[in-house]
A and B are shown apart, each in its own frame.
Chain A
Amino acid sequence: MKAFDLEKAIGQWRKSLQKQQGLEPGFIEELEANLRDRMEDYLEDGLTEQEAFRLAGEKTMPPAEHLADEYYKARTPGNKKPPWRRKASLLSKMPMHFKIGVRNLNKRRVYSVLNVSGLAVSICASFLIWLYVQEQESYDRHYANADRIYRVIFDVDYEDVKAPQADVGQPVGPTLKADYPEVVEVARLRRIGGTNTLASPDNSIESVDFFVADDQFFNVFSAELSSGNPETALTQPNTVVISEELAMKFFGRTDVVGHTLKYSGLRPPMDVMITGVMKDLGEHTHLPLKALISYGTYFLESDLSNWLRKSYTYIMLDEHNDIESLRAKIPDFNKRYLDEVFEKIHARGNLLFQPLTSIYLDEDYLGEPYPHGNRQNLQILTAVMVFLLVMACINYVNLATARSVDRAVEVGLRKTLGSSRLSLFGQFMAEAVLLALGSGLLAILIALPVLPYYSQVTGSLLTPQSFLTLKNIGAILFVSVVIGFISGTYPSVYLTSFTPKSILKGRFATGKQGALLRKSLIITQYVLSSVLITWILIVTSQINYMKNKEVGFDKEGLIQMTIPDDLAAMKNVDAFIRRVNELPHVRAAAKTLSDLSGYYPGGAQRMEGPDGLPVSTNMSAMTIGYDFINTIGASIVEGRGFDRTLPEEKSVLINEAAVAAYGWEGHELEVKYLGLDRQGKVTGKWKVVGVVSDFKPGESYVEKGPMIFYLDNRTIPESNLLIGMDSEHMEATLLEIIPIWEEHFHIFPFEIELIKEKLDALYWREETFRNLLTTVSVIIVFITSLGIIGLISFTTEVRKKELALRKVVGASVKTIMSLLSRQFVMLLMVASLIAVPLGYYITDQWLMNFPLHINFSIWPFVLTLGCCLIFTVLALSYHAFHAAKANPVEALRSE
């Protein structure tokens, strides 16, 4: 048996007391003196040292916690539990941890600034994104029972083209309600024509927001009437319910029930009486309508039984809200009512139910009253949001573990002084949370100047007042704290794992594990940044490619004007065109019903092939006036264009691609275009009089395809007038056109659109995407830079002594710089190895969306990596230069 070593035993006893919170060194010294006195007596009594030590020690009532309890009890009045006895002891220590945390953060200011700003920017950006996503997802949720309301839609299968339609036949709603008891309410509404006008004696408002609605509207939609009776408001013909906003515009007040407005839509103007004023439905509905005109005003009794006269139809289910069981009954409903109806038009139809709350983010169906939001965009944004936060956390972890050497000594000392690992863990967590909280506050500050930009991009107004709500601030701070917890955990566990012995003996090297983690995090950030930047470069060049693509017409030298909707003016159009044609730099001018920036989907068109048999191919059709081909700068490669001097009733033009598509290449132009009726019968043969050089209207996503051109030289109000001119002399020519315009159309202002601009605007989707990417990558590059700067300053700090020694033995500044750079260049190389294939894959996937796209090239990657390299070297140089220039004595002395 090992001999009992009293001093060692007392040493351990002392240590066990030191670990206990609440026992001060003075207390312990006194207790030790007491222990020794006591032991002396025991020894006198004849006990062995070991026994004496054990017995004497018992008088301090181990475990040490009891002793500490007694001290606490003696000095604290009342019956309070000592801190170490309190359940949430870690939490109760937090105020102290926070105090120390503030000190620590203040002491390491550069580090704190790097970390706080990175976190703040990410939190700010993600929160704004979140607000937008929330806003988009909140559509229609404010209606009472919104979860029980469904829109009924027609899923029509017409000649193998499936096209869901937003509106359904008039009897659908009432029949559903009559046949199925779970359908408790039905409402129908419809927009008549494009725009409608409501007019008071001194005010007239034209809007797309006026709908005809049946008298059940208020049973389904919980719109509140500020005056009028919702039960009866829409029962009579020639009545209208208007929004408070409209009432204010017309009358300057809202209690206007009984007043009369003049309504003109597709019917001749008529008087309608206001029977209700409703509170505004708000912006967040897929139906932001402003006025409801009673159903009887527009629909006749016979319309209401017509299954092909359609309205938007909404149903509300009973409390069970069992939409699936209703859906199961629909095949039967189809059989009973719809099949017969659709058979007549050679189609098949089915009823679908679309939850009210998802309408806004679902895709647009045929005949939607308003354009919709885009769920996919929201998903991308949500991903971006999460991604940003993850990046920020990564950065925190990175910077925090990077400083481990610095903190390790502190950890070692505090552990020696008796801090428990838990208490140290609490300290580091407190620092992380504090830092994150600071970032949250900063994020709120950063958000304020960004709000106008946010409103502009998203189209939803966000003012400082509406942003700085308690809820938002709370949410930001809450998220910050959560981030603090998440990102603080790893560094806290890591930093508190050091054993004092190894640190204080100076054997502490930056843990291999930690270094590996840091390196992989940095590589991840490098990879993400360079992939994003590469993507941006590729999106940009794709946009430029599409914008600059040869379209087969002279887009630079084309202007477009709208023919005024005025009988007198319209009579002058042809004269105007003649006059303009005389101008020196004008190629030609032409009327057209088609728009060069429009989209012309191909439709199946039938023509005779060279062998006399009909051939069906997709062709886009444009309706043009005389001289159109010449005006746009295309040419007739065969035959002739439409000629004013010839009868052209049965003439068409096709383009070269169409010639090829119908197999007429190399044949004499003896083609017949076959006009078809809806049943597919040939109604007449049209002669192809000429072949036009290929050109591409609309977006340049796809190659020029087969086209056919019909002649329509009528002067139609609101149709287009194109003038082609020498783009070099455009300004001078425009100056000459203005007086001619004023001469012919005096009261109508001279307004033109440049075709080039209209075409460029077609790529807004890609440009928005690029802007989004740019914003995100600016943030990510920013965060990455912070991470890299942090890591660099850490590395140089760790190697300070080594560098000093090297300098002492004669290393040059250059040697030291290259020594330091090596590691980062290596990281960058590894990152490139990952980034290039990844970037290639992602951008390739994106480019696949475009049948016409640029070819993949390595240059964006080279450029991106070059930028990363330059940045890294710059950041490195600063630190390395400092390290290299520093007086080695300073570094070596600091022990």
Chain B
Amino acid sequence: MGKYAIGEFEEVVLLTVAVLYENAYGIAIKEDIEQRLKRKVSVGAMRTALKRLEKKEFLTSEFGEATAVRGGKRKRYFKVTPYGKKALEKVMSDRQKLWEAIPSMAFDFK
């Protein structure tokens, strides 16, 4: 797997962060995954994934503007790093290679 090793859920989170672009913060990421992929995401699992992705430097985070509804507490926004983008591309190309290798007969399930 090499230096771009990434888990399935991590990949989903990383992609979602990329999808949300400027608006990628915890709860938005969770909700987006839930909506788009129709799967339940636990806050804990999501946080763990984010933390790990940040550690692998696929992601960086920074605080946004403070707002009153959070009592002056600022949101943490996530951004995909170029390194992260590479990792995603690597996953994509790996997948692509595999797809191309499938003989057309393989899906003939009749």
A→B interface (CB under 8 Å): 4, 6, 40-50, 52, 55
Contact = CB atoms under 8 A, between A and B. Distances in A.
A49 B72 CA distance: 10
B27 A47 contact: yes
A233 B12 CA distance: 112
A48 B47 contact: no
Given A44-B26, A45-B26, A49-B70, 11 more contacts: A4-B69, A41-B47, A43-B73, A44-B25, A44-B73, A45-B43, A46-B25, A47-B27, A49-B69, A49-B71, A52-B70
B75 A6 contact: no
15 contacts: A6-B71, A42-B27, A43-B75, A44-B25, A45-B27, A45-B47, A45-B75, A45-B76, A46-B27, A46-B75, A47-B27, A47-B70, A48-B69, A48-B70, A49-B70
Contacts of A6: 71
B92 interface: no
A43 B25 contact: no
Contacts of A44: 25-26, 73-76
A45 B25 contact: yes
Nearest to B63: A44
A43 B47 contact: no
Contacts of B75: 43-46
Contacts of A4: 69
B21 to A, nearest CB: 15
B5 interface: no
B28 interface: yes
Contacts of B70: 43, 46-49, 52
Contact of A46 (B28, B47, B71): B28
Contact of B26 (A46, A49, A50): A46
A48 B76 CA distance: 13
A41 B75 CA distance: 9
Contacts of B26: 44-46
Q: 9 closest Cβ contacts across the A-B interface?
A: A45-B26, A43-B73, A46-B25, A46-B27, A48-B69, A43-B70, A45-B27, A46-B75, A44-B76
Interface string B51-95: 000000000000000000111011110000000000000000000
A40 to B, nearest CB: 7
B30 to A, nearest CB: 8
A476 B76 CA distance: 75
A49 B30 CA distance: 18
A48 B30 CA distance: 15
A46 B47 CA distance: 12
B71 A43 contact: yes
B28 to A, nearest CB: 6
Contacts of B25: 44-46
Nearest to B50: A45
Nearest to A4: B69
A20 B73 CA distance: 32
A50 B47 CA distance: 20
A52 B26 CA distance: 12
B29 to A, nearest CB: 9
Nearest to A50: B69
Interface string B10-31: 0000000000000001111010
Nearest to B28: A46
B22 to A, nearest CB: 13
B36 to A, nearest CB: 17
Contacts of A50: 69
Best-buried of B26, B28, B30, B73 by chain A (most CB within 10 Å): B73
A52 B67 CA distance: 14
A104 B25 CA distance: 60
A43 B30 CA distance: 14
Contacts of B69: 4, 48-50
A55 B44 CA distance: 12
A43 B76 CA distance: 9
Contacts of A49: 69-71
A40 B73 contact: yes
Best-buried of A4, A46, A50, A55 by chain B (most CB within 10 Å): A46
Best-buried of A42, A44, A50 by chain B (most CB within 10 Å): A44
Best-buried of A40, A41, A42, A43 by chain B (most CB within 10 Å): A43
A32 to B, nearest CB: 15
Contacts of A42: 27, 43
Best-buried of A40, A45, A49 by chain B (most CB within 10 Å): A45
Nearest to B30: A45
B85 to A, nearest CB: 23
A503 to B, nearest CB: 35
B82 to A, nearest CB: 25
Contacts of B27: 42, 45-47
Contacts of B30: 45
Best-buried of B25, B27, B30 by chain A (most CB within 10 Å): B27
Contacts of A48: 69-70
Nearest to B24: A46
A46 to B, nearest CB: 4
Contacts of A55: 43
A42 B71 CA distance: 12
Nearest to B77: A46
B19 to A, nearest CB: 16
A470 B69 CA distance: 73
Nearest to B73: A43
Best-buried of B28, B71, B75 by chain A (most CB within 10 Å): B71
Contacts of B73: 40, 43-44
B79 to A, nearest CB: 15
A427 B7 CA distance: 62
Contacts of A41: 47
A781 to B, nearest CB: 71
Nearest to B67: A48
Nearest to A47: B27
Contacts of A40: 73
A4 B69 CA distance: 8
Contacts of B43: 42, 45, 55
A47 B29 CA distance: 12
Contacts of B47: 41, 45
A59 to B, nearest CB: 11
Contacts of A46: 25-28, 70, 75-76
Nearest to A44: B76
A41 B30 CA distance: 14
A3 to B, nearest CB: 8
A43 B64 CA distance: 12
A42 B30 CA distance: 12
A745 to B, nearest CB: 121
A46 B43 CA distance: 12
A49 B66 CA distance: 12
Contacts of B28: 46
A42 to B, nearest CB: 8
A627 B75 CA distance: 132
A48 B71 CA distance: 8
B99 to A, nearest CB: 35
A4 B70 CA distance: 10
A49 B69 CA distance: 6
B45 to A, nearest CB: 13
Nearest to A48: B69
Nearest to A40: B73
A733 to B, nearest CB: 116
B33 to A, nearest CB: 13
A47 B75 CA distance: 8
A41 B43 CA distance: 10
Nearest to B61: A44
Contacts of A47: 27, 70
A322 B28 CA distance: 90
A171 to B, nearest CB: 102
Nearest to A45: B26
A262 B27 CA distance: 118
A225 B47 CA distance: 97
A55 B28 CA distance: 16
A554 to B, nearest CB: 111
B59 to A, nearest CB: 14
B60 to A, nearest CB: 15
